[in-house]
């Protein structure tokens, strides 16, 4: 059964890669990590702008993107729930459930605490005996629970620290596989300032989030371990009020995995050298890997640039009630080749808001195509007013 588990994990990684990457050899050197679900945009607002959120206007979904935005949110507390059917073109039972919430407290609302939980189900997997006869089903999953504290450090700048517990369970029972557990932290910052563009006062947001700084994770009792998807996200957002009821916002996010780049085989490499190369990579510590990732790509500075993913998005808001969104996400063809446009819409009335987004791939045979997200948010203060 251990071999069945290894095969299952390998197939799962293939599912998370674009089909047109598989089988190519020229310069392909993607960075593979454990817990890939931690990189999935969980909410429909950020997803509708091409996976953007480092510096967009604060909302209840900010926990994933940048928890430092919460002190600038106008409401006192909120909750949100999101549902994402994943890889729906290939399978029908892989999906992600996500919930987040926040509460502002203290003098002049300078402080906020927030939390989120994500559950990524990999569906039903049939386990068979050595003869190929059906034995039982297992339901592997990835899960993360986190909590953050954020605070305004000045009139325009806030910072946040997030602590996260991570668990991945691919175990089938009775073999060498075990659930993997890890701990991680995020460090984030956000700056929000106003300035005049012509006769209108525009809002400029700047933000960063270094996420999933933590331990490695092992699925075999510690014999081998894998890197978490430590990621540096930086972004900028410019909101411009066309008039009293119409606002348009343009946003840009840049992402880079702070994980060592796998070293490619050298010419005439022996089997012993190959195993040594793999062992050297696995021996890199998680913290050491962050610093090493800044300049270890075999292709030099050019390959380091290829590892930077970027997103460009826009959001139009009418009367703070109705929103239309669009965006584009780009990943280099030799680093995963995820390229897609996204569209979204949102509607807010009193204490409720609902958002939806749709992803359409622009790269050939991309299994991420036609991904749909649905999110539902609640303003706790608004709910309280409705009940009074």
Q: Which of 15, 6, 4, 40 is nearest to 90 (CA)?
A: 15
Q: Could you tell me which CATH number the domain at 2-387 has?
A: 2.40.160.40
Task: Name residues whose C-beta falls within 8 Å of residue 283's C-beta, 6 or more positions apart in sequence.
Answer: none
Q: What is the pLDDT of residues 251-281, one digit of tens each?
A: 999 999 999 998 888 777 788 888 888 888 8
| pLDDT given at position 368 | 72
**In this predicted structure, what is the pLDDT of residue 18?**
43
In this prediction, residue 24 carries a pLDDT of 42
Q: How confident is the model at residue 114 (pLDDT cuts 50, 70, 90)?
A: very high
Q: Band the pLDDT of 127: cuts 50, 70, 90.
A: low
Report whether pLDDT(136) > 60: no
Q: Write the CB contacts of 60 (distance below 8 Å, at least 6 apart in sequence).
A: 73, 78, 79, 80, 100, 101, 102, 377, 378
pTM greater than 0.95 = no
Predicted confidence band of residue 125 (pLDDT cuts 50, 70, 90): low
pLDDT of residue 382: 80
Q: Is the pLDDT of residue 15 over 50?
A: no
What is the predicted pLDDT for the residue at 325?
A: 98
pLDDT at 82 over 80: yes
Confidence (pLDDT) at 365? 62
CA distance linking residue 121 with residue 251, whole number of Å: 31
CB atoms under 10 Å from CB of 224, counted, come to: 10
Q: Locate the domains of the chain by residue range.
A: 2-387
pLDDT, one tens digit per residue, over 168-226 is 988 765 566 788 999 999 999 999 999 998 888 999 999 999 999 999 999 887 788 89
| pLDDT score, position 20 | 40
Residue, of 306 and 350, whose pLDDT is higher: 306
Per-residue pLDDT of 54-73, as tens digits, reads 999 999 999 999 999 999 99
Task: Decide if pLDDT at 87 tops 90.
Answer: no
Give the tens place of pLDDT for each residue, 353-385. Answer: 999 999 998 886 666 788 889 999 999 888 887
What are the tens digits of pLDDT across the range 317-335?
Answer: 999 999 999 999 999 988 9
- Chain segment 33-53, per-residue pLDDT in tens: 999 999 999 999 999 999 999
341 versus 21: which is more confidently predicted? 341
3-state helix, strand, coil in the chain (%, to 5): 20, 45, 35
The secondary element (H helix, E strand) that includes residue 290 is helix 286-292
pLDDT for 251: 97
- Please name the helix (run of DSSP H) or strand (run of DSSP E) that holds residue 62, with its range, or none: helix 62-65
4 or 139, greater pLDDT: 139
**Model pLDDT, residue 130:** 54
pLDDT at res. 175: 61
Q: pLDDT value at position 281?
A: 87
CB-based contacts of 200: which residues, under 8 Å, 6+ apart? 240, 241, 242
pLDDT at position 25 over 50: no
Predicted local confidence at residue 248, as pLDDT: 97
């Amino acid at each position: 059964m251990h071999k069945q588990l290894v095969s299952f994990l390998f197939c799962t990684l293939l599912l998370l890669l674009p089909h047109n990457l598989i089988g190519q050899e020229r310069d392909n050197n993607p960075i593979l990590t454990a817990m890939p679900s931690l990189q999935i945009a969980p909410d429909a607002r950020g997803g509708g702008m091409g996976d953007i959120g480092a510096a967009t206007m604060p909302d209840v979904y900010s926990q994933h993107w940048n928890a430092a935005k919460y002190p600038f949110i106008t409401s006192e507390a909120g909750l949100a729930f999101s549902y994402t059917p994943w890889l729906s073109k290939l399978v029908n039972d892989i999906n992600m459930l996500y919930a987040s919430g926040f509460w502002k407290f203290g003098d002049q609302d300078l402080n906020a605490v927030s939390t989120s939980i994500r559950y990524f189900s990999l569906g039903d997997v049939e386990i068979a005996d050595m003869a190929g006869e059906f034995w039982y089903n297992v339901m592997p999953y990835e899960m993360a629970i986190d909590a953050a504290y954020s605070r305004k450090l000045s009139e325009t700048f806030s910072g946040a620290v997030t602590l996260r517990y991570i668990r991945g369970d691919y175990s089938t029972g009775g073999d060498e596989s075990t659930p993997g557990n890890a701990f991680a932290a995020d460090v984030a910052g956000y700056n929000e300032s106003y300035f005049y563009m012509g006769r209108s006062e525009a809002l400029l947001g700047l933000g960063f989030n270094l996420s999933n700084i933590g331990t490695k994770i092992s699925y075999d009792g510690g014999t081998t371990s894998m890197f978490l998807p430590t990621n540096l996200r930086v972004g900028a957002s410019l909101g411009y009020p066309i008039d009293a009821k119409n606002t348009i916002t343009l946003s840009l996010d840049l992402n880079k995995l702070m994980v060592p780049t796998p070293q490619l085989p050298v010419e005439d490499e022996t089997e012993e050298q190959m195993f040594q190369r793999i062992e050297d990579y696995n021996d890199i510590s998680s913290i050491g890997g962050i610093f090493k990732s800044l300049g270890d790509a075999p292709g030099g500075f050019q390959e380091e640039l290829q590892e930077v993913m970027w997103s460009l998005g826009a959001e139009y808001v009418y009367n703070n009630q109705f929103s239309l969104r669009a965006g584009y996400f780009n990943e280099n063809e030799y680093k995963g080749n995820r390229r897609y446009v996204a569209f979204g819409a949102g509607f807010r009335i009193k204490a409720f808001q609902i958002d939806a987004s749709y992803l359409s791939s622009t790269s050939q045979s991309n299994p991420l195509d036609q991904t749909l997200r649905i999110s539902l948010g609640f303003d706790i203060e608004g709910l309280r007013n409705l009940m009074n």
